[in-house]
Amino acid sequence: MTARIIDGRACAAQLRAEYPTRIRSLHEQAGVTPGLAVLLVGDDPASAVYVSNKVRACDAVGIRSFTFCLPTTITHAELLGRIVELNNDDRIHGVLVQLPLPPHIDMREVLATIAVDKDVDGFHLYNVGGLVTGGTVFSPCTPYGVVKLLESEAIPIEGQNVVVVGASNIVGKPMALMLMARNATVAICHAKTRDLAQFTILADILVVAAGVPNLILPQMVKTGAVVIDVGINRLPDGRIVGDVDFEGVAKKASAITPVPGGVGPMTVTMLLDNTIRSAERMTAAAVGLWRPSSL
Ligand code: NAD
């Protein structure tokens, strides 16, 4: 078997092509342009690259972005103050704090300070809790991107055995919850899982987000499985690879995402989607069509 390559760039481009129309219609109907505020604390080069990618993606579809580069020395209280200002700024529909934050900043409090209605990264406790109970306003971008990718490839989720490798708060756990909400049977594995292969071999859909190159080898994958590789690893020779032995596993899987060009482009796309949707729901609320969560 040779796997179909799931083209995340093409899927992302198709979704992004719809955004300028949605943005134009918001502007024509209500004079509103979606706005995203991105706060970058400190001078981590990888974070700076992620932020500039997000800003470029916003520009390309017509979202106004506001980048705030804040010094590592910013106090916890000052950072919270900046977030509160942005929560109250009508030009802003999404507030995103680039992670990781310096150690003196309490990340949980920072994320809890972002207004739920502007939490386009989906990391506020309310949005996280909503993944368990229903009622999430914004889903976290990477797992949301994986779901969109599966949907666009018409890969059924309901009733499938899904194994998620990786249990972080930003990828693995929300991924598992989102797939469970779509009636998959989900197992979560992590660094302390004994004999990873005995789980992965059962997966109809295997989602890997561990940050370990070549973690998933062909003998760990069921013939015909769908393999979604979220991992992004830079090898010593500079190459970017995922967590899956792509060449080997592609001979056994029915469909597989490459790295780069798989999940990565979908993550930023979902950030754009969440930001536009935030502007749409705030605009609808302003004209009395419905009320967003007051939390
Ligand atoms: P993390 O370090 O926060 O979490 C990694 C998880 O993997 C943990 O739960 C850990 O227990 C588990 N793990 C580590 N080694 C393992 C092993 N040997 N076997 C089984 N589980 C193991 O990382 P994260 O933020 O969740 O990101 C995971 C990967 O996904 C990284 O490579 C990251 O760069 C990538 N990532 C990609 C995107 C994207 O848009 N494609 C977005 C976010 C993260």
The SS3 assignment for 209 reads coil
Ligand 1 within 6 A of CB of 168: yes
Ligand 1 within 6 A of CB of 232: yes
- CA-CA distance, 130 to 284, in Å (whole number)? 22
- CA-CA distance, 292 to 83, in Å (whole number)? 19
Domains present along the chain, CATH in parentheses:
29-116 (3.40.50.10860), 141-264 (3.40.50.720)
- Please choose, from the candidates 1, 3, 2, 8, the residue with its C-alpha nearest in 3D space to the C-alpha of residue 255: 3
Mean pLDDT for the stretch of residues 233-250: 97
Q: Which residue, by CA, sits nearest to atom 42 of ligand 1?
A: 142
Question: What pLDDT, on a 0 to 100 scale, did the predictor assign at position 295?
Answer: 36
Where in the sequence numbering do the catalytic residues fall? 54, 98, 121
pLDDT digits (tens, 9 = 90+) for 7-40: 999 999 999 999 999 999 999 999 999 999 999 9
238, two tokens: 């500079």
Q: Which residue, by CA, sits nearest to atom 5 of ligand 1?
A: 210
- Please choose, from the candidates 119, 56, 47, the residue with its C-alpha nearest in 3D space to the C-alpha of residue 83: 119
Task: Give the model's confidence band at 63: pLDDT under 50 very low, under 70 low, under 90 confident, else very high.
Answer: very high
- Residue 287: is its pLDDT beyond 80? no
Ligand 1 within 6 A of CB of 190: yes
- Residue 272: is its pLDDT beyond 50? yes
Q: Where are the beta strands (DSSP E) in 87-195?
A: 94-97, 161-165, 185-189
- Residue 110: is its pLDDT beyond 90? yes
Question: What pLDDT, on a 0 to 100 scale, did the predictor assign at position 111?
Answer: 97
- Please choose, from the candidates 147, 142, 22, the residue with its C-alpha nearest in 3D space to the C-alpha of residue 93: 22
Cβ partners under 8 Å of residue 29, min gap 6: 283
